[in-house]
Amino acid sequence: MHAREWLNSQLVMKMIEQCASQYYTGSYGGRTYRRLFKNVCFYVIPMLNPDGVNISQYGLARIKDADLKSLVSRIGHGSYRGWKANARGVDLNRNFSPGFGVESAKRRASESYAGSRALSEKETKALVALIKDVKPNAVLNYHEMGKVIYYQKSSPLLSVVYSKTGYTLIHESLGDAHGTLGHWLTAKGIAWCTPETCYGSFPISHWQLYSEWENHKDMLPAIAYAYKGLYMKKETARKTFRKVFPVVS
């Protein structure tokens, strides 16, 4: 979602690659991947903001549209490595409707610039359309950095992510941030959490991909294990879940 946080795209792709390549041979919790994924479906978006990522990595070099290149040049002031927004200078994680515009930056490409109106950007419109179509049980929203997990309500997803990463839990109230995907999901009654991987300064060193991999390599099968258990008899599911994952309140 944020341009300079592109290392997570590689992390998520590596997670998908493992599940696909080991579909017939891999296992988690005594269950094969094939069995785990039989009734649990993941929709994965490794990169929501490809234009912004290009700007963060290459500056103006990869922008083909002359008008867009001129816009980015004006609002970027020659510095692009820390670029957080999309190509139009909007922070996509401030472009959702709950609390939209509160404490928004006034200038394009500034951190937390929310845009001209809620869901003004093609990227956020596409994400909202997908979520409305899929109606997911939960949404895992990867960001960088700080090794923390933002959340609003307890959920099986939160318990799994906390168990696998050990990141610090931070409860996020409606007043802590505005126009975020998390608050939009809460309004829709969808469970979510936001793990912030890595530490340091942007752009994150590539070597952190390998250390983070140890925390996240089993994330998808672990989530599948947890949510597949929810389809068992209720009491049996609760006991099974608590044996494997600490319940976060």
Q: Cα angle at 14 between 12 and 19, to 5 degrees?
A: 100
**Number of residues assigned to the chain:** 249
98: helix, strand or coil: coil
Question: Cis ω on the peptide bond leading into residue 203 (within 30° of 0)?
Answer: yes
Q: Classify domain 3-244 at the CATH topology level.
A: Aminopeptidase (3.40.630)
How many beta carbons lie within 10 A of that of residue 237, not counting itself? 17
Global confidence as pTM:
0.86
Residue 79: the pLDDT is 79
Q: Which two tokens stand for residue 97?
A: 């409707």
For the record, the structure tokens of 205 come out as 């060193």
So where are the chain's domains?
3-244
DSSP-derived secondary structure letter, 194: E
| Rounded to 5°, angle at Cα 223 from 154 and 206 | 100
Nearest residue to 92 (alpha-carbon basis) of 76, 116, 112, 75: 112
Distance of alpha carbon 27 from alpha carbon 111, whole angstroms? 41
pLDDT in tens, the chain (249 residues): 999 998 999 999 999 999 999 999 999 988 899 999 988 899 999 999 999 999 998 988 888 889 989 988 888 877 788 899 999 999 999 999 887 767 777 888 788 898 889 999 999 999 999 999 999 999 999 999 899 999 998 888 999 999 999 999 998 875 567 889 999 999 999 999 999 999 887 777 788 888 899 999 999 999 999 887 655 445 554 555 555 555 555
The pLDDT assigned to 115 comes to: 87
Cα(243)–Cα(231) distance, integer angstroms: 16
DSSP assignment string, 123-178 = HHHHHHHHHHHH--SEEE--EESSSEEEESS--HHHHHHHHHH-PEEEE--TTT-S
Q: What Å distances lie between residue 107 and 85, 92, 115, CA to CA?
A: 11, 14, 9
